A and B are shown apart, each in its own frame.
Chain A
């Protein structure tokens, strides 16, 4: 199954362009981060000091999940457009097999995200703050939580792709939901409920750096701790993929 998915992906230039863009944007963002000035003080190389670097990087990378999501939407809606889902079912693949194939692709994309964050982190850690490298392993779990978050955004993207079938509509729905619709819904929902919304749960996995400091100013955040959010995120991921399967199973191809 994975081999068939790789046969589709590896020769596809769009995939490489988006993956390259992801790593370039992430590295670029991190590279200029050190020269940002706040209150007349430059962050400088302290920004790249372990162990805090991993959670900072995970937070920055969380913004680029949308790129991975858009890539998965392209890969899913392409199959509707080219009628290749239909042909694969004719040729002997089950509907569950089609969804599992894309689930495997989302796993690969999340793994790519994790490796990219690790690679970018190690590069900047070694070059800008080499004396802290000894502490690199202490908080590397933050990158794994970022991986779960990437899987979460990819599960939303997959559901939208399977549901809407057309790339333009699916991009719009994905971005609108993640950036506008759910935040608006959360505004009108009590705090003790809104922290369980899916995108909020996913975002809780990579909290804003310095959140503790912010809490002292604005009051405690309603968000769950990353370790509390992780099992719920996995439940949402399973739910979204199950819904994707149901959508595909109950429709004509």
Chain B
């Protein structure tokens, strides 16, 4: 089932187009990463999806229905910054959020525990560090045990240990079957936790799909020859294969190339052997999401 469907969404701020005809679909149970450089439209996309920004065109559907108070209560979301009343304590803020979400006030204790703020629950929010504020906001998104979590830069302000904790939390929640939509510019984080990814640039969708397919599309094959075989022999043999492209020397020795979809490294090995080229080494080099991201947003 489609949890979230964005259809041809557009948004302008004055003369600037922040989002241009964006269509996306998030399936149940996926961990969906929204990637893009600063100003690419990630937060605008989430703001439109969460109903706090007015779209200039297009449609948002949650659980197959137009957005409503009922659909929103099935979604826990953190957008941009932790938004709380500074003069209220952590506990008072969560009790208020629980009221709005119609979650049982008893769930506040578990949320405070999860945020590691039980000891400081009666302190005013204004006195918290950025990391504590972020943890409180994350805990607030979990009130009422929503089916879906929308997290905009959830590791902002957290130390390395906090970042690891958030990653574990996301993985644990995903394992429980929750759908998670996460916007980040931290590619490493996305690569570690996401099943699907969409890449935005200047308000347009550049690529979307399962992380494996986005990455696999440009995996490179690294080919190494024995020292006594001239590289020209390899280059000549590769030149005969129309499904091998982007051949280039590698800095550590050997050459790398990209195979057209549907062709495997074994097939390449067989074809080269048939041409009389014996490889000393052949390995798939999976491209990092970072490299792929930079390629897509060039």
Contacts and interface: CB of A to CB of B under 8 A. Distances in A.
Interface stretch (B81-89, B222-230, B243-251): B81-89
Interface centre among B51, B80, B92, B102 (most CB of A within 10 A): B51
Nearest to A88: B100
A90 B215 CA distance: 33
Contacts of A83: 80-81, 83
Given A92-B69, A92-B72, A92-B101, A7 B87 contact: no
B232 interface: no
Interface string B70-95: 10110101011101111111001001
Given A90-B52, A92-B101, A11 B83 contact: no
Contacts of A12: 87
A92 B54 contact: no
Contacts of A4: 96, 99-100
A84 B87 CA distance: 13
A7 B52 contact: no
Contacts of A97: 69
The range of chain A's interface size is: 20 to 34
B79 A252 contact: no
A253 B51 CA distance: 9
Nearest to B80: A83
A94 interface: yes
Given A4-B99, A91-B72, A92-B72, A86 B88 contact: no
A221 interface: no
A97 B68 CA distance: 12
B50 interface: yes
A87 B125 CA distance: 15
Given A8-B85, A11-B87, A90 B95 contact: no
B169 interface: no
Interface size class, chain B: 20 to 34
B136 to A, nearest CB: 12
B69 A252 contact: no
B162 interface: no
Interface string A23-34: 000000000000
Contacts, number: 73
Contacts of B96: 4, 7-8
Interface in A1-35: 3-4, 7-8, 11-13
A82 B86 contact: yes
Contact of B88 (A11, A89, A91, A93): A11
B24 interface: no
A91 B83 CA distance: 11
A13 B87 contact: yes
B47 interface: yes
Contacts of B97: 87, 91
Contacts of A87: 79, 83-84, 97
B121 to A, nearest CB: 14
B241 interface: no
Given A83-B81, A86-B52, A92 B100 contact: yes
B84 A90 contact: no
B130 interface: no
Given A90-B50, A251-B54, A252-B47, A7 B72 contact: no
Contacts of A251: 54
A37 interface: no
A84 B85 CA distance: 7
A91 B81 contact: no
A250 interface: yes
Interface of A: 3-4, 7-8, 11-13, 78, 82-84, 86-94, 97, 250-253
Closest 3 CB pairs of A and B: A87-B83, A83-B83, A92-B73
18 contacts: A7-B88, A7-B92, A8-B85, A11-B87, A11-B92, A12-B87, A82-B86, A87-B83, A87-B84, A87-B97, A90-B77, A91-B100, A92-B69, A92-B100, A93-B100, A252-B52, A252-B54, A253-B53
Given A87-B84, A91-B73, 13 more contacts: A7-B92, A7-B95, A7-B99, A8-B85, A11-B89, A82-B84, A83-B80, A84-B84, A89-B50, A89-B72, A90-B79, A91-B77, A91-B97
